[in-house]
Amino acid sequence: MVGRKNKRMIVLFLIPAMFIYVMVFIYPVLRTFVMSFFAVEAIETPIAAWTFAGLNNYIGLFRIDLFNRSVTNYLTLWFVGGIAVLFLAMVYAVILTSGVRLKKFWRAVIYLPNIISAIALGTMWINYAFRDNDGLFDRIVEAVGGQTPVMWTGPYMGLWSLLIAYCFGMVGYIMLTFISGIEKIGDEYYECASIEGANIFHKFFFITLPLIRGVVRSNIVIWTVSLGTGVFAWSFMFSPTNLTLPYTMPPNYMREIIFGGRGSAVVQRDSGAAASVGILIALLVVVISVVSSLITRKDDVEM
């Protein structure tokens, strides 16, 4: 009898949470999915005024150069930036778990960008690091004998500048997850390897890396999901007035066709197409995450 009462109380307390979850998450997702198959000019348009369009919204997107460029930019940022972030985070994690002095201080320093808002970080990069003539990067170029000014936020370097700035803010978080995985590895593995004459590289490739394969898989998924949502603010910061090719990302393009173009950008309002962009972003994140998991799942090693 007590068990039944407890179950009833659990259900009673879960109902408000489930209602909020359905209304805030499930309903918008289902509405967006359905809307992607209809011609809808404004997001507030009543459902009765929607016109069925089938797959035309999806097909039409890939005929638009601006959207195709946004997908290319996203995949470039995911692949190149992902390699850079995972590599740097792994290097920092290995160093900070090897007995280096002041490791708590260095962890805090590397993680610091994660507690600063994207707006503040973007402002720092644009107005200090990438500023023409007297910016940090131009001074570095001058120091090595290069020609300045370099148009770091111009059409040719814009995407790579955005990549550097965004990756800078992600390394610390990924590093901490690597550290948590490495610290779970028992010291006896490394002690046995040292007795057998293994050097630091042998220990990393034959002990550390195989035993944190699951952490690597999780970090790939974390990087993919965070990029799908977090890059919006960074792209908006680097291109606040117009939707320009170097900084165009799918979330920014979706925002443009929902609310209309900024400045001189000519983008027609089309909430149905915007819903299609949202669904494609979600599918892209899911596919990349699944493929990444399948690739890194091979020959998993357990401690």
CB 268 within 8 A of CB 39: no
Q: What is the pLDDT of residue 84?
A: 94
Q: What is the pTM of this model?
A: 0.82
Give the C-alpha separation, 291 to 151, whole Å: 36
Give the C-alpha separation, 225 to 220, whole Å: 9
Whether residue 263 is predicted with pLDDT greater than 60 in this model: the reply is no
User: How large is the greatest C-alpha to C-alpha distance in the chain, in angstroms?
Assistant: 82
Q: What is the pLDDT of residue 82?
A: 92
Indicate the SS3 state at residue 187.
Answer: helix
The least confident of 7-16, 89-98, 176-185, 264-273 is 264-273
Q: What is the pLDDT of residue 1?
A: 47
Interval 205-254: pLDDT, tens: 888 888 888 888 889 888 988 887 788 888 888 877 677 777 888 888 88
Q: Where are the domains of the chain?
A: 64-296
Whether residue 86 is predicted with pLDDT greater than 90 in this model: the reply is yes
Interval 36-79: pLDDT, tens: 999 888 877 888 888 898 889 999 888 888 889 989 999 999 99
CATH number of 64-296: 1.10.3720.10
Proportion of the chain above pLDDT 90, given as a percent: 13
CB 138 within 8 A of CB 149: yes
Burial (Cβ within 10 Å: 0-12, 13-18, ≥19) of residue 51: exposed
- CA distances 277 to 32, 192, 244, 274, Å, are 10, 53, 18, 5
